[in-house]
Chain A
């Protein structure tokens, strides 16, 4: 398949998915109980004029489809609307909070990739006691929900040892931010490290068993080279395909980890806006999450042919 056709197909797929997701989220919000106006009024009774005015300002009385289409039209013009709860433009809300979440997820991703691949590789290549030890540890990691991990890490490293701050993102520059996000990113990564280590291990074991490894060894290729060139590289494709799964897990779990560590990022904002039925904010964040997820899938699809010559562009359908 040519690259142009592939790109066009993926672009169309992405647009369709975003549209569907936005419709589903908007509909779910619409059906949930409560009215944003009442949250706006902090649950106090309001004069009919005040209610009518809010409803008019935010078009809350319009029929569902009309509201959805109005919102869609605004988005296409680059206008995310105005948050009902925060009384400010959604784009500003996002600009204030998105960077923190992206740094957190980015850090976790690095931790997951480094630790997961390394452990999986050691377990597969060394076998024996190392393998058993890693299996036990990863079982523990996979069984620990990130919220529990957050509480444990906080208790041990922040409260008892005082090595890391227990919450927030700090007041200083980027270094301070990384410092504050260390524990949260580890909490977020723990489950995925376990998962990735196991995927890597089984993929490498499979590769180790394959014929061309036997052939390479019989030709006297040094063992380190065999592992690097044949085994590790062949298993990379399998590992890469879990990328989408890893990122979507990070996106979901960041909500809980941000809460546990009081990091005011997108996760926490989503949680709060869902509570108050802040339509414009929830919609914007949902779209960003879906877009991120799809982007990662796209990157995986573009990288696969590079690491695994047996795969051609677009032959793995997007796992959305």
Chain B
């Protein structure tokens, strides 16, 4: 599942689910007060050209840390509004929180799932999951973890008054009860293959009931978080930085650094400068336009890792010309994917004809992969064929509108690429530039999508399962903006949701993948890896998107 909230201005490229920063031309209030001529005094920054890299190889990991360090500083592009785990559904908050709060299960740097605070998860029947808790685990407030804390923590996720971002994960949950001092039983209304996987994300976080109740309305914004992770929340200097301190009562492997300091650096060039000058030792989500600078700086190493993210063109209107599959095919055929990867993703990315990343299929056998990936529409350009398709569909000269915004190059340059493709094949493609805050509204507000046929969208999976993305085309699914509906597809989604054995499930998912890619419900463009920079002082952080839910900062220590 992904979120797709707000993404913002000159930050890095497109992360669905980003509460981003917009580049204010002038904030509403100021505008109300100030004459327009004044604004010339501080007009926005000029457009930068991409400083890309070539020869991008994904690293499975980074060299292990040699020893302990006192502290390291990490750059994040935005401040988490709150660190309440129930609303932690965006890069900045998850990057910090994964080191403080732990879940029942644990996502590993290799993107597999293993036991976390539960030492065992068992499934005695299709609608029951039993979690046996690790004994002797202490919260940061010194109390020992019991089944009551688990019941309470998970209960907050489905409490309607709490507006949890993870509520959907619990949609099939009938009850969560304590079945022993260290045992919790989850009863489902129907089999749900996604629920146990989500227990490795922030959806499965366990925090101290006492701590949460004591903090009341301010839980997540002031005071501690009452969690169990290798770090505990230290000083939170609002708007500036968040300090984590090593938790000496940690049940697992002790963190290698006494402190981890997260510095909020909203401006991409400020972030890059901080990495170059050593003010920050490392960071994830490096701005694409800085890849080359950091790679060649000699101050550290730029790594790329598996991101479970794809960049797509999200089709939002099937009532218009895009309702004809021939027009969607034509656009897909005319799109210069490799040109976009070079410019829009700083050269780090691979063109794809699949909506899901290959890594999401890690557990699938070879024959399943064949079904899922063979005979998908081509990624190469074929302008002539595309032209013919448009003609055949009677769409020559028809107008299509693609939304764009100055949010990141993944958005603005993909919109331009779509326009270029359409123009070459006889379509009239209009760009509709929207302010970053309105771009965010595309995900949440049907009115904002009026008059728009498609928009660029980067999507990441929170679990290693292609269904996370593919369920979006089910009738009525939240991200199914085009209102696509196919009873056959819906049936397959329900089947896959109900099948626990991974190989069987992926067989069904392969059919879904084939159907969605064939139909071009979104037009897939590229796989987008994660980027990680660490200077010469530190090493040890994982390269993959696992950092969202895995206590990665505990692995960071002194470089040899």
Contacts and interface: CB of A to CB of B under 8 A. Distances in A.
Interface string A21-34: 10011001100111
Interface in A271-291: 271-272, 274-277, 282, 285-287, 289-290
Interface string A132-152: 000000000000011110010
Interface in A9-56: 21, 24-25, 28-29, 32-35, 37-47, 49-50, 52-54
A87 B441 CA distance: 20
Interface stretch (A215-223, A243-251, A305-313): A243-251
Contacts of B30: 248, 251-252, 255, 270, 289
A21 B437 CA distance: 21
Given A34-B437, A159-B276, A264 B42 contact: no
Interface stretch (A71-79, A165-173, A204-212): A165-173
A158 B270 CA distance: 10
Contacts of B87: 40, 42, 87
Contacts of B34: 248-249, 251-252
Interface stretch (B14-22, B421-429, B498-506): B14-22
Interface of B, secondary structure class, is loop
A253 B27 contact: no
A249 B4 CA distance: 34
Given A148-B46, A253-B41, A53 B263 contact: no
A261 B270 contact: yes
A269 interface: yes
Contact of B29 (A38, A43, A256, A270): A270
| Of listed B82, B160, B447, residue having the most chain A CB within 10 A | B160
A97 B238 contact: yes
Contact of B41 (A83, A92, A145, A271): A145
Interface in B424-483: 436-438, 440-441, 443-445, 447-448, 477-478
| Of listed B3, B6, B39, B163, residue having the most chain A CB within 10 A | B163
B239 A53 contact: no
Contact of B160 (A38, A52, A97): A52
Contacts of B84: 87
A42 B239 contact: no
Contacts of B17: 42-43
A159 B269 CA distance: 11
B42 A262 contact: no
A171 to B, nearest CB: 8
Contacts of B16: 43
B39 A252 contact: yes
A100 interface: yes
B185 to A, nearest CB: 23
Nearest to A192: B41
B320 interface: no
Contacts of B165: 41-42, 44
Contacts of B263: 167-168, 262
A21 B221 contact: no
A43 B166 CA distance: 11
Contact of A34 (B160, B221, B444): B444
A34 B448 contact: yes
Contacts of B289: none
B172 to A, nearest CB: 12
A285 B29 contact: yes
B267 interface: yes
A159 B277 contact: yes
B478 A45 contact: yes
| Of listed A166, A251, A265, A289, residue having the most chain B CB within 10 A | A166
Contacts of A286: 27-29, 32
A162 B299 CA distance: 15
A235 interface: no
Contact of B267 (A24, A47, A260): A260
Nearest to A21: B32
Contacts of B5: 38-39, 42-43
Contacts of B42: 145-147, 191, 249, 252-253, 255-257
A286 B164 CA distance: 29
Contact of B22 (A25, A44, A275): A275
Contact of B277 (A49, A162, A271): A162
Nearest to A54: B163
B44 A147 contact: yes
Interface string B22-53: 11101111111110001111111110000000
A179 interface: no
B82 A88 contact: yes
A164 B325 CA distance: 57
A157 to B, nearest CB: 11
Contacts of A100: 239
A259 B23 contact: yes
| Of listed A41, A53, A255, residue having the most chain B CB within 10 A | A41
B19 A44 contact: no
Contacts of B392: none
Contacts of B41: 145-146, 191-192, 249, 252-253
A168 B4 CA distance: 28
Nearest to B476: A45
A96 interface: yes
B417 interface: no
Contact of A248 (B33, B238, B274, B438): B33
A14 B398 CA distance: 54
| Of listed A44, A268, A285, residue having the most chain B CB within 10 A | A44
A57 interface: yes
A93 interface: yes
Nearest to A265: B239
Contact of B24 (A97, A168, A255): A255
Contacts of B28: 25, 28-29, 274, 282, 286
| Of listed B16, B27, B31, residue having the most chain A CB within 10 A | B27
B175 interface: no
B90 A154 contact: no
Given A269-B239, A285-B29, A289-B29, A45 B267 contact: no
A261 B271 CA distance: 9
Nearest to A275: B437
Contacts of B237: 171
A76 B53 CA distance: 56
A272 B21 contact: yes
A201 to B, nearest CB: 19
A56 B14 CA distance: 32
Given A86-B82, A87-B84, A248-B34, A274 B437 contact: yes
B264 interface: yes
Given A44-B3, A275-B440, A25 B29 contact: yes
B38 A32 contact: no
Contacts of B27: 252, 255, 267, 270-271, 274, 286
Contacts of B527: none
Interface of A: 21, 24-25, 28-29, 32-35, 37-47, 49-50, 52-54, 57, 83, 85-88, 92-93, 96-97, 100, 145-148, 151, 154-155, 158-159, 162, 165-169, 171, 191-192, 245, 248-249, 251-253, 255-257, 259-265, 267-272, 274-277, 282, 285-287, 289-290, 293, 320
13 contacts: A44-B165, A87-B217, A88-B221, A151-B45, A154-B269, A245-B38, A253-B42, A255-B24, A256-B23, A259-B21, A267-B27, A270-B30, A274-B22
Given A34-B437, A264-B264, 6 more contacts: A43-B444, A147-B45, A154-B270, A249-B41, A252-B34, A259-B23
Which 6 residue pairs spanning A and B have beta carbons closest together?
A264-B239, A286-B29, A38-B444, A45-B478, A34-B441, A253-B42
